[in-house]
Amino acid sequence: MNGTVRIGILGGGGILGAHAAGFQPLADGCRVVAVAEPDAARHARIRELLGPDVELAGDYPEVLDRDDVDAVDILLPHDLHLPATVAAAAAGKPVLVEKVMARNIYECDRMIEACQAAGVSLTVCHDRRYNGDWIALKEIVDSGVLGEILHWRLLHTQNVAPVASGRGKHWIADYDRLGGGAIMSCLTHQIDALRWYEGPVAAVTCMHKTVPERMEGESVGAVLAQMESGAMAELSISWITRSNTAASGLWYELNHVTGTRGEAYYSAGKGTFLLTYDAPAVDLPVGFESQASPVGMAFRQVVSDGVPGHVGCIREWVNHLRGRPADIRTSGLEARGTVEVAEAAYRSVETGRTVPLPIDPIPWRSS
Ligand X SMILES: NC(=O)c1ccc[n+]([C@@H]2O[C@H](COP(=O)([O-])OP(=O)(O)OC[C@H]3O[C@@H](n4cnc5c(N)ncnc54)[C@H](O)[C@@H]3O)[C@@H](O)[C@H]2O)c1
Cβ-based nearer residue to ligand X, 15 or 224: 15
DSSP secondary structure letter of residue 185? I
**Site map (CB under 6 A) of ligand X, residues 319-338, x = contact:** --------------------
Least distance between ligand X and beta carbon 258 (Å): 26
Query: Which of 29, 38, 294, 361 is close enough to bind ligand X by CB under 6 A?
Result: 38
Q: Using the rule CB under 6 A, give the single segment among 75-83, 85-93, 200-208, 222-230 that binds ligand X.
A: 75-83
Q: Of 348, 10, 359, which is closest to residue 180 (Cα–Cα)?
A: 348
Nearest Cα to 47, choosing from 93, 75, 16? 16
Tell me which residues in 55-74 interact with ligand X (CB under 6 A): 59-60
Please pick, from the candidates 8, 11, 94, 337, the single residue that binds ligand X as defined by CB under 6 A: 11
**Least separation in angstroms between CB 148 and ligand X:** 31
User: Following DSSP, what letter does each residue of 100-165 receive, concatenated?
Assistant: S--SSHHHHHHHHHHHHHHT--EEEE-GGGG-HHHHHHHHHHHHTTT-SEEEEEEEEE-B-----B
Residues of this chain, 159-218, that bind ligand X according to CB under 6 A? 185
Contact assessment for residue 231 and residue 151, using Cβ atoms and an 8 Å cutoff: yes
CB atoms near residue 84 (< 10 Å)? 25
Q: Could you tell me which stretch among 25-33, 37-45, 219-227, 273-281 binds ligand X (CB under 6 A)?
A: 37-45
φ/ψ of residue 149, rounded to 5:
-80, 130
Q: How far is the CB of 355 from ligand X (least distance, A)?
A: 23
CB atoms within 10 A of CB 153: 15
Going by their DSSP bridges, the two strands 262-267 and 253-259 should be labelled as antiparallel
Angle between helices 332-351 and 188-198 (to 10 degrees): 120
Q: How long a stretch of residues is the chain?
A: 367
Q: Which is nearer to ligand X, 192 or 198 (CB)?
A: 192
Considering the complex, what minimum distance in angstroms separates the CB of residue 330 from ligand X? 11
Of residues 54, 76, 118, 342, which one binds ligand X by CB under 6 A? 76
Run of H or E residues at 207: strand 201-210
Q: Which span sits near ligand X by CB under 6 A: 9-17, 146-154, 268-276, 300-308?
A: 9-17
For ligand X, which is the closer residue by CB, 167 or 300? 167
- Smallest distance from the beta carbon of 75 to ligand X, in angstroms? 5
Spell out the residues 6+ positions from residue 26 whose beta carbon is closer than 8 angstroms to its own: 314, 315, 318
Query: Which residue among 29, 77, 162, 361 contacts ligand X (CB under 6 A)?
Result: 77
x-marked contacts with ligand X along 93-132 as a string, rule CB under 6 A: -----xxx--------------------------x-----
Closest by alpha carbon to 80, among 58, 100, 56? 100
Segment interacting with ligand X (CB under 6 A) among 76-84, 151-159, 290-298, 344-352:
76-84
| Cα diameter, the chain | 76
Based on CB atoms, which residue is closest to ligand X, 6 or 227?
A: 6
- Cα dist. 290→69, 284, 293, 294, 302 in Å? 61, 10, 8, 10, 26
- Report the distance separating Cα 154 and Cα 187, nearest Å: 9
Closest to 34 measured CA to CA, from 77, 1, 67 = 67
Q: Out of 5, 7, 9, 10, point to the residue binding ligand X (CB under 6 A).
A: 10
39 binds ligand X per the rule CB under 6 A: yes
Of residues 188 and 258, the one with the C-beta less far from ligand X: 188
Q: How far is the CB of 320 from ligand X (least distance, A)?
A: 19
Q: Which is closer to ligand X, CB of 30 or CB of 75? A: 75
Is position 14 an interface residue for ligand X (rule: CB under 6 A)?
A: yes
Residues in contact with ligand X by the rule CB under 6 A: 10-15, 36-39, 42, 59-60, 75-78, 80, 98-100, 127, 185
